[in-house]
Each structure stands twice: as structure tokens, then as C-alpha cells.
Structure 1
């Protein structure tokens, strides 16, 4: 008799599920690049009233919900660009991968980078090509261009700034990748609000370019709202395969509300950018800590013993991300999400005690 394991794809059975760390009670959560600030009480009360009026008895009509135009106005997305909404950037990564999933098609990404690029390539039977970064996590342009020439990828993902390293590659290098690409290039700007540069002003002007962003890193990770802006020839095709009701009424209502208070977002993004500089400077004072530059809302460091420091922080109620073991270039690396000044003070106290 056939068992369930005989039916389920063998390659999926061999995969590992994306691990979400459990949060101990009272812990400081600095592992997932979330904003540590919540909307103020007055805003939350106003939001509660708005959500009470949300028509949750009806399916949402994503095409007419108006969030696309709110996003366009807030982030100055060009009028020539179409905008697709996703249940987080994760859904958009998945659906864009599906969009090009022809037999023998290839997906190219830099490594180390966001693991879901490779995961979705495998899920849809695409040939995955990973191009290693340099040892300092900068982009190896000659190797990347050679891989593009050799493999002719239908899809290229560039995380800009890069996750999990925080590096913002040189713009001219990314432009060279776009120029050389035979297919679609997705510039994943999940951390774009913390960076000095963006490709969003070019969205819609180049057929092969898709710029992807999210509300997750600027205070609204729980909404699961991502968006992709690009040329109609790509975004209109993407619309055909996105689930018809992939968003929900409560998230859409909250996103509208949040963007009406975008000044609050900008204020707290600026605080985190200032804290990022401070944490880079303070962590660099330790002889045993190598701090990598970052244009995101996190800092990646290399230490002599990542396991030991990760454990020491966790024992003190601070949860960060251990990158060690995820990729050879991430040997002995840890990633710290930038927290509030008080949370960052606590991190520095534990690190100082560890190396002291």
C-alpha cells in the first residue's frame, strides 16, 4: 500500500522548514530586523476604530483597494510603474519565481543572501546559480557577469542592501548586472528605508527591472504587506498568478492608516539609523569583533566564537541571529537588529562582560 511519503515530492521531504525562533518571555527580540517601536497609544486607538469598520464579511478587492496609489504617493513610485501587492515580500518572491519557471530556466542570486531565493528556485524546479560574494561581503562583479553569461538566467535577485550582511553594493555594479541580464532582475529593497540609495525611481522605465519593497521593516511586520513595482509587461503577467484574495481587509486598512502617519515612521527610522552608527562604533571598540558596514536596520559582525556569544546573549534574555553555519562566508558571524537605545545599551553591557 502506498504511503504518504511515496506521494510527497522527495526533494521537498529533504528540505528544511524556515526556522522562526521562539521568543522567551520578557526577552529582547533583535533577531528578525523588526522595528522595536510600536505606534503610540493615540494612534492605536484610532486604528482600532478604523478596523472595527473594516468590511471583514467581504473578500478584499485588491485591484480597487487604493493601497497601490497610497504607496505610489508615499514613496514617489513613478506613474509608469505598475504595482503588485503581496502577502509579504515572500509571496512576491515565490510568484515571480513561478512566473519564469520554464524547463531548464535558471535563477541567479548572490551568496550569502536571502535564503528564500534559493528555496523557491528549488520549489519550482528552476536551476539555481549562487555567486559567492567577496570575503568582505562586497559584490564580485567579474564572477557575477561571468555567471550571467554562462547560465543566461531568466531571473536574478539582488538584495539591496543585502540580507544578512547589511552591505549596499556599489550602484554601478548593480547597474552592470541589470545591463547584462537576459531576463528579469528583481532588486529587493526590503531595507531600502535605511539606505542612501534606491532603484525605485527607475521602476516602470525598464522592462526587465522589478523593484520589491515591504512595510515589514518600518514598523508593520505583522501586516505581511510587500509590493513590487515594475514594467506592465512583467507586473501584468504577475497579476495573473497572484491569488485573487491574497491580502486581507484588516491588513489593507492598517496599511492605509500607517501610511497616513508616515511622518512617525520617518522619525523612528531616523532614530534607528543614528543607533546603527552608534552600535557600529561601540562594537568596533572590541578587538575581537569585526564589524561590517551596514545600510540596513541591522549589523553583522564576526567574532572568535559565535556560538558562545550567541548563548551568552540568550542567557541574558537577548535574542539575536546566529549566521554561523549558514554559509561558508558567514563563518563565526552574528547579526544584531538595531533596537531602542535602551535595548542597545543592554546588548553592549553583555558584549562587554563577555569580552571583558
Structure 2
């Protein structure tokens, strides 16, 4: 019989915040042994010749030194790649998640509020709450469009420090109406707040906000290399007017992006044509997958400008478990928000993965 642990050896939770103890951490599904189509990853790896070339470059790095000027090289390369406007600057993050946290820290004035449409990316709310900010979610319409009147009313009422607009949105995968977005941007600017346009899925979208960015002094544009094809290196970047980005950069931890991340990102940008070809292939697969889904009875889909598709089935839990039993892992988002009742989110994979996913879905309905 095992003796009880002494009092001194038991974990003490008394100094952990009550709200932290009551919350759920970000859940990552165990994907071992499955066709992994739950996390919007690029399904294509580097060609073998590029793998060898990248390996040699990473092996030559001075890992005994803190990151140096390579970060500046990467910022310049990203600015050119994204066609960043004159007078703008960018800050690097350990994925977009860290940038969202840095924004919450930088804007943490007494009574500050973060506002975003819901359902949306969960980290907008989580980062705000962990920093002690109020989060206000404004429901989308039943067809996952922006509720313009509700958004404008919330901005007038809450006077948020930050409004997040994902373009396209996660998990709904759609691009919202540009005229509505612009009216929300203007309203937020008129009351002195910031707007963050989150373009995580830009490689798969028909439009970008980059050409409108220079019109505003209160709008930041956030992107990531995760959907570009480098989810494993965790690198995001935030662009905006130089003076505004300089303030956000002050709360960034020193050396937050490793030399390995920087070198991988620079290598990818040097071979951007490879990743652009992969994105084009994913967009083509998305259209074929949409056609296949359209032939399944009882399945409703919505337009997608991302590398994911949202669909509604008669019973999301049953279908999700059935697909797992057939070796295919997708995301059950049906409990995230009431608007997502019985919805699943599918990542667009390779032609073979998509065929297996469609077969598993049809067998599980």
C-alpha cells in the first residue's frame, strides 16, 4: 500500500489565480496513427534536395550565441515579401499567438476591452482574459457574416482598445464584406482604438487587406508562416505604422525568435515559389473537396477562402467519432459556439488524404 505524500510534497495551488484554475487549456488532439486533418497544416513537406540544403544551413548556425542580426534580415525579407507600405515596420512573434499576447500586454489600460466577432480564433479571448482585459464577443449572423449593426453598437458602447477581424475567419473559413469591414475600421478609429486584421490564411484567400493598410494609422496586419507551410517553426509577424509597432515591440521578450526559426523562415522566403505552388495545389484540392462534399446528402458547407472547410452534419459527435474509427482526424467545433451546432471543420489535405476523408465522412454520417 502506497503511503500518502507528505504535506510538503503535495502541489500547492493556492497562489494560482482562480480564473486560471477554472479554465481549460488549449487542447491539441493526439494525431498519432491518423490522417491528420484537424489543424489547418500544409500537408506538403520540403522536397528532399531542399531538406538537405536547409539542414546544412541549420547545422552551420552558432547555436551557442543569442540570436543577432538575422532577425533584422528576416524582418526586411518579410516586409518585401508582404509588400509592406513605406513608413511601416513589423515585429516578429513566436507564432501569431505570442503577438496576440503582446498586444494584450501593450494595451492593458484600466478597464480595457478586446472585441471580436464570434465564433472566431480562441486566442483573442484567452489572451485578453489572461492579461485581465475584458473580452466582448459579437455573434456573427446565421450564415457567419459580420453583424454590422451589432459590431458598430458594441464599438460605441464598449470603446474597445482592440478589435480583431480575421480575414478569412477561423473556424468559418470565409472572407467578410469589405465595405462592412471598412465601416467597422472607421468606427474603431474614430473612438481611438486599434484594429488588428488577422490574415493567417492569406496564402489561400482571394483578397488581402495589405493594399488598404496605408490608409489608416490605427490598423495592424498580422500574418503567420504556419499556413505558408512552416507550422513547426512558430513564426508570426505584425505590420503597422512604425511608431505604433515600436510601442508594441517594447513588451516583446528579448530573443523571442530563435536563430533556427529565423533561418528556416529566410530559407522558405528564398524558395517562396515552392510554397506558392503548394498553396495553389491546396486551393485546387479545396475546390475538388467542396464538390465531393456537395454530393453527400445531409451535409451543408459554406464558402471557403482558407485551407479548411466548415460543414454541418446531422450529428457532429457521431460523425466525428465515426471518422476517427476510420482513421481520419478532423476538428469537432460543434461545442465552441451555439452558431456552430453540429459543425465539423476539415483541413484540406493531399488528394489521397481528401479521398480518404470523404470516404470516412460518408461512412460515418
TM-score, normalising length: structure 2: 0.94
Show the counterpart of 1:10. 18
Q: State the partner residue of 1:263.
A: 273
Q: Tell me: CA distance 1:277–1:336, structure 2 relative to 1, closer, same or farther (3 Å).
A: same
Where does structure 1 lack aligned partners over 5 or more consecutive residues?
none
Between 245-254 and 279-288, the greater mean CA deviation after superposition:
279-288
Give the 3 Å change call, closer, same or farther, for CA 236–348 of structure 1 in structure 2. same
Match of 2:208 in 1: 198
2:4 corresponds to: none
SS in 1 for 2:223: strand
CA distance in 2, matches of 1:109, 1:63: 34
Does the 8 Å CA contact 2:70/2:262 hold for their aligned counterparts? no
Match of 2:115 in 1: 108
Residue 309 of structure 2 is matched in structure 1 by: 299
Q: Which residue of 1 aligns with 2:3?
A: none
After TM superposition, the structure 1 stretch with the greater mean CA deviation from structure 2, 5-14 or 220-229, is 5-14
Is 1:223 aligned to residue 233 of structure 2?
Answer: yes
Aligned 8 A contact 1:272 1:339 in 2: yes
| 1:147-158 matched pairs, under 5 angstroms | 147-158=154-165
Per-residue displacement from partner, 1:202-244 (whole Å, max 9, x unpaired)?
A: 3455221000000001210001000000012320001100001
**Cα distance, 1:194–1:343 mapped onto 2, change above 3 Å:** same
Contact 1:82 1:204 in 2 (8 A): no
Runs of 4+, deviation exceeding 3 Å: 62-65, 202-205
Give the paired residue count. 354
C-alpha contact (below 8 Å) 2:328/2:360 kept by paired residues:
no
For structure 2, the residue ranges without an aligned partner over 5 or more in a row are 1-6
Structure 2 vs 1, CA of residues 58 and 204 (structure 1 numbering), >3 Å: closer, same or farther? farther
Query: C-alpha separation between the residues in 2 aligned to 1:47 and 1:65?
Result: 20
Using the TM superposition, give the Cα deviation of residue 76 of structure 1 relative to its aligned residue in structure 2, in angstroms: 1.4
Tell whether 2:319 aligns with 1:312. Answer: no
Whether the 8 Å CA contact 1:215–1:221 is kept in 2: the answer is yes
CA contact (8 A) 1:84 1:227 kept: yes
1:204–1:232 contact (8 Å) kept in structure 2: no
2:187 to 180, 185, 188: 180
1:279 positional shift: 1.0
Q: RMSD of the alignment, in Å?
A: 1.5
Map of 1:52-131 to 2, 5 A cutoff? Answer: 52-61=59-68, 64-131=71-138
- Match for residue 140 of structure 1 among 147, 153, 157: 147
Using the TM superposition, give the Cα deviation of residue 61 of structure 1 relative to its aligned residue in structure 2, in angstroms: 2.6
Alpha-carbon shift at residue 121 of structure 1 (Å): 1.1
Q: TM-score, normalised by structure 1?
A: 0.96
SS in 2 for 1:213: strand
